[in-house]
Amino acid sequence: MHPLSGTGGSTGGSILNTEPTGGVVRRGRRRLASLGPLGLIALSVVLLDHATKILVVARMSRGSTVPILGDYFRLVYVRNSGAAFGLFRDSGTPLVFISIAASALVLLYLLAVPPERVLGRRALALVLGGAVGNMLDRIFRGGEVIDFIEMGIGRGLR
Among the listed residues 30, 21, 31, the one whose alpha carbon sits nearest the alpha carbon of residue 124: 31
Strands 73-80 and 65-69: antiparallel
Instruction: List, for residues 10-47, the tens digit of each pLDDT value.
Output: 444 444 444 455 554 555 566 555 678 899 999 999 99
DSSP 151: E
Kindly report whether the global pTM for this prediction surpasses the value 0.75: no
Phi first, then psi: give them for residue 150, nearest 5 degrees: -130, 130
Using CA of residue 144, residue 147, residue 151, residue 152, what is the dihedral sign?
Answer: positive
Minimum mean pLDDT among 52-66, 95-109, 112-126, 144-158: which range?
144-158
